[in-house]
Structure 1
Amino acid sequence: MKRLIVSGSVVLFMFVCSITITSAENNSVKVAFIRHHNLWIKVDGKEKQLTKGENITGPKWSHDGEWLAYVKGKKQNILELYRLKDGKKVTPFHSEASNYQWSPTENIIAFIFTGTLNTFDVEKKNADFENVSAGVGDYAWYPDGKNFLVSSEAHLLPTGWTGAQLYEVQKDAHMNPHKMKHLYALPNEHDDFLALVASGFKWSPDQKWISFLAVPTASWSADSNTLCLVRADGSRFEKVDQMLLNEQWFQWSPSKNILAYIEGSGRVALENKHLKVKELPALQQNIFTPKGYVDWDFVWKNDRVIIVSRAKEAGIETPPEKRPLPSLYEVDSTSNAQHQITKKTNKQGDYHPIFMKKSNQLIWIRSDRKKADVWLAHKDGKQEKKWIENIDVPEWYYEKWNWENVISVKEE
């Protein structure tokens, strides 16, 4: 009798776990992904192909999850928008578009064409794109969606390079300089610092600090860029550390002024890449990567815990088939307690963790570098299951993979 009760309890536990692990499939998350260069979505647990034969990359959800932006074409530079409810497709601009970003509050998308920042309102009838500002090297929406933070590009003078300039630009500026306010001038070239452009702006949870990368020349930036902080009012500037040009590799915690990032110069991701955490206003940074390992993609689980993709360190001379593959680790940034949360596999690695706060679930990509699948598990990595099979593997650069080019997740 006791044996029957125990067996029944085990079955019930497994059933409850099964219900919990599939909740993301049912209604709490939308996934856009690339398979065979075509755009697919998974919504309400069902997969649907949206494009065919158009060479798609870089899917991005609108703030409400009703639209998808992506680029297509032979050069993957034609911006197109797709509305989920009826399959309507819109091309905002019939030429090359780059660095497209949705407004955080409205269905307005911004993009750059030959140094000019433009916007397009998908909800407006007979809409056309609108010019915002010229001379733009990079930009980001302010969290309230009312303005842009814009970086100019630096200029070469007889005395050396100037620094990039930061501006606050109203979204409806229409090239009017009176709707643009100078925020900060980055330092001119000196010693080991050069900022041809500022890139990847991210606001702290209290919106008092902005993190970004000071990007030097193309060849230099392949090996090292300077992670920086500036006060939102432009009153203070700080150089934090050196890292690769990867905007996914620095992130603020959900609700505290704590910045995590992957430190380390050198274009080879197999060596000298360390997870560090900086809590403001403190000056020092703490390192969490054990000796002999490298850390790559990561995500904050809460204000204390980070989930990171970690592999053993190796040199670029190591043949690809013998290079270490990563697993996911959970790191407590207050106690430095660390443990592995995904199973060790000989032929596949775990990349690009995504934590869904509402459903307390973990999504990541498992890949052997030639093919890839999306996996799903509880917040602790348990009850893992293959969720989406056969997504494209993006191009890689010295073992650094830009997975955001092939997957975008929107939690409802």
Structure 2
Amino acid sequence: MKRFIVSVGTMLVVFLCSTINSSAENNEFKIAFIRHHDLWIKVDGKEKQLTKGEYITGPKWSHDGEWLAYVKGKKQSNLELYRLKDGKKVTPFHSEVSNYQWSPTENIIAFIFTGTLHTFEVEKKNADFENVSAGVGDYAWYPNGKKFLVSSEAHLLPTGWTGAQLYEVQKDAHMNPHKMKHLYALPNEHDDFLALVASGFKWSPDQKWISFLAVPTASWSADSNTLCLVRADGSRFEKVDQMLLNTQWFKWAPANNILAYIEGSGRVALENKHLKVKELPALQQNTFTPQGYVDWDFTWKNDNIIIVSRAKEGGFETLPEKRPLPSLYEVDSTSNVQHRITKPPHKQGDYHPIFMKKSNQLIWIRSDRKKADVWLAHRDGKHEVKWIENIDVPEWYYEKWNWGNVISVKEE
């Protein structure tokens, strides 16, 4: 009888794991990843290598999942675009560019070169890049894909630094100032606030608020940046908190005006990093990180539940092999009920959770700091399976990894 129960239990586990795998292979999402510095994809359950020996980083899917953008080259990184259906490769610009972003509605990619914002329409015959605006420190597409929110860079005056300026710029501005509108002037330098540039613009679900980081000087920004909010019409500005220069560490809830973020100054990720939630229009924030712990990457599961990568606090002076490694925790932001949902093996940690809303599945990266795999589970973290083996581990900075440099997921 015991043998029968064990056998049935084993069959059930195998069935559940196969269910997870089969649903993941059912066109519900595509994943691009970097392995041995080359670009790979996994689509319909099959892995495919797209480049060979080209040193690839930063894969990003187009809005329809038909194109991939990435940079290649170790010394000089050039932007390249890859079309999945036929393997066509396009180089939109023959110099090193920064901050490339796909339009949220069309197959148009934007990028910055020496302070000028450009666009490139990939499906257009004999396409060439187009100039949009000069004087650009950073930018983001508006959710409708028709214009950009642009930040200028601040200027140093005898009295100190000015603040960065925010502008609305039409997609087809072509350097025409009549297609650009001033939105807001960030405050000048004072006390502990300095905004040389605004970065990482993100719109609230109702598109009435925009969150971003006010970024100071390079040395200062390594330790602290100011998370800010501005009304979409420029009528109100608010400084929220201090945090690291990581635009993936603040995210809006899927449908409500609730902003979650990782608060805490200091470049060492093992210290003073706390998950906080701010619900607009309330002024206060609530903290959800227990004493003695730090929180890192996170994802919203719904408007109440957050899944976060959490580790015990530790000192950077500790040897790397003895530093704490994270697990994934589920946090209810309404009741503050929290529980651990993954238990990685000894000397491994769970990072970079991604919740797939359509398939109701959880993806994350499990790593020992030297190698990494992609894991997949049910929405509650149960019935986990290793889905992709051996992806590259990005360079780290004081125990903070930018996993977006080696993985990109597109939900269909």
C-alpha offsets along residues 322-377 of structure 1, whole Å, 9 cap, x if unaligned? 00000000000000000000014211000000000000000000000000000000
Shift of 1:224: 0.1
Residue aligning to 2:343: 343
Residue aligning to 1:245: 245
Shift of 1:19: 1.7
Residue aligning to 1:143: 143
Identity of aligned residues (%): 89
1:166/1:184 contact within 8 Å kept: yes
Query: Given the superposition, is the C-alpha separation of residues 120 and 360 from structure 1 closer, same or farther in structure 2, using an over 3 Å criterion?
Result: same
Mapping of residues 370-381 of structure 1, within 5 Å: 370-381=370-381
SS at match of 1:22: helix
Shift of 1:161: 0.1
SS at match of 1:19: helix
Residue aligning to 1:359: 359
SS at match of 1:94: coil
Shift of 1:253: 0.3
Letter paired with 1:26:
N
1:100/1:110 contact within 8 Å kept: yes
| Structure 2 CA distance for aligned equivalents of residues 71 and 7 of structure 1 | 50
| Structure 2 CA distance for aligned equivalents of residues 244 and 4 of structure 1 | 54
Residue aligning to 1:157: 157
1:151/1:167 contact within 8 Å kept: yes
Shift of 1:77: 2.0
2:344/2:366 contact within 8 Å kept: no
C-alpha offsets along residues 94-121 of structure 1, whole Å, 9 cap, x if unaligned? 0111100000000000000000000000
1:21/1:383 contact within 8 Å kept: no
Residue aligning to 2:234: 234
Residue aligning to 1:280: 280
Residue aligning to 1:204: 204
| Structure 1 CA distance for aligned equivalents of residues 98 and 71 of structure 2 | 9
Letter paired with 2:118:
N
C-alpha offsets along residues 247-294 of structure 1, whole Å, 9 cap, x if unaligned? 000000000000000000000000000000000000000000000000
Shift of 1:10: 7.3
Query: Given the superposition, is the C-alpha separation of residues 76 and 332 from structure 1 closer, same or farther in structure 2, using an over 3 Å criterion?
Result: farther
Residue aligning to 1:225: 225
Structure 1 length as normaliser, TM-score? Answer: 0.98
Shift of 1:75: 2.6
| Structure 2 CA distance for aligned equivalents of residues 391 and 59 of structure 1 | 13
Mapping of residues 21-100 of structure 1, within 5 Å: 21-100=21-100
Shift of 1:21: 4.2
Letter paired with 1:125:
K
1:57/1:76 contact within 8 Å kept: no
* Greater mean alpha carbon deviation, residues 178-187 or residues 76-85: 76-85
2:223/2:265 contact within 8 Å kept: yes
Letter paired with 2:155:
H
SS at match of 1:26: coil
Residue ranges of structure 1 left out of the alignment (5+ in a row): none
Letter paired with 1:239:
K
State yes or no: 1:120 paired with 2:125: no
2:139/2:150 contact within 8 Å kept: yes
2:344/2:350 contact within 8 Å kept: no
Letter paired with 2:304:
R
Mapping of residues 376-395 of structure 1, within 5 Å: 376-395=376-395
Letter paired with 2:240:
V
State yes or no: 1:406 paired with 2:377: no
Letter paired with 2:302:
N
2:32/2:42 contact within 8 Å kept: yes
SS at match of 2:235: coil
Shift of 1:71: 0.3
Residue aligning to 2:109: 109
CA RMSD of aligned residues (A): 1.5
| Structure 1 CA distance for aligned equivalents of residues 253 and 374 of structure 2 | 24
* Greater mean alpha carbon deviation, residues 68-77 or residues 272-281: 68-77
| Structure 2 CA distance for aligned equivalents of residues 270 and 25 of structure 1 | 36
2:342/2:381 contact within 8 Å kept: yes
| Structure 2 CA distance for aligned equivalents of residues 228 and 83 of structure 1 | 37
SS at match of 2:25: helix
2:361/2:376 contact within 8 Å kept: yes
Structure 2 length as normaliser, TM-score? Answer: 0.98
2:259/2:279 contact within 8 Å kept: yes
2:110/2:119 contact within 8 Å kept: yes
| Structure 2 CA distance for aligned equivalents of residues 8 and 399 of structure 1 | 43
